[in-house]
Amino acid sequence: MVVKRSYHHGDLRRALVMAAREVLVERGPEGVSLRGAVARVGASTAAPYRHFRDKDALLVAVALEGHAELRERLRGRGTGTMTALGHSYLGFVLENPALYRLMAGAGIGDRTAYPELAEAHRETCALLADRVGERNDPGGFAVTLWCLLHGLATLVIDGHVERDCAVAEVDRSLAFLR
């Protein structure tokens, strides 16, 4: 009698997301593929389709994880400390530039097909609004703060602002919002 063994990877979804993150850092979003992620984790070629319908769905899962990590980092900062928020935000970006770009939409085809990604952006903005303290319009101020931080982060990633100057630029830029 032949006994057929079933293949079980464990948490394949998580393993695929981690593999995709590794490739994202190495080669950018265009280097990520379901086939490549499967090869890294040693699963069958059909296995990822139980978790992700295509490459974009895998990239969205990675981006959502990035948003959760950013929000967790921002939660660790005190209410009303814009400078601490700015440093925390920029620190995340400097540690995860490829992930940050993906979170901002680079490499994902039709973002409108993934409303959970838009919700992740809203949650991050709401957290900023919660953390900036009492203001006449905390939501509007949070969007302004987010625009400033995102713009500065993008300038640093693109090499228009030197990494060594980034923290000083956060301080200087945030001084205009006080």
Domain that holds residue 87: 55-175
Contacts of 123 (CB under 8 A, 6+ apart): 67, 71
The CATH number of residue 106's host domain is 1.10.357.10
Q: What is the CA radius of gyration of the chain?
A: 19
On the 0-12 / 13-18 / 19+ scale of CB atoms within 10 A, 178 is exposed
Q: 0.85 cut: is pTM over it?
A: yes
Which tops the pLDDT comparison, 70 or 50?
A: 70
Is there a domain that residue 139 lies in? yes
Identify the three-state secondary structure at position 142: helix
pLDDT in tens, 154-178: 999 999 999 899 989 999 998 888 7
pLDDT in tens, 57-70: 999 999 999 999 99
Structural domain count, the chain: 1
Is there a domain that residue 27 lies in? no
Is there a domain that residue 81 lies in? yes
Is there a domain that residue 66 lies in? yes
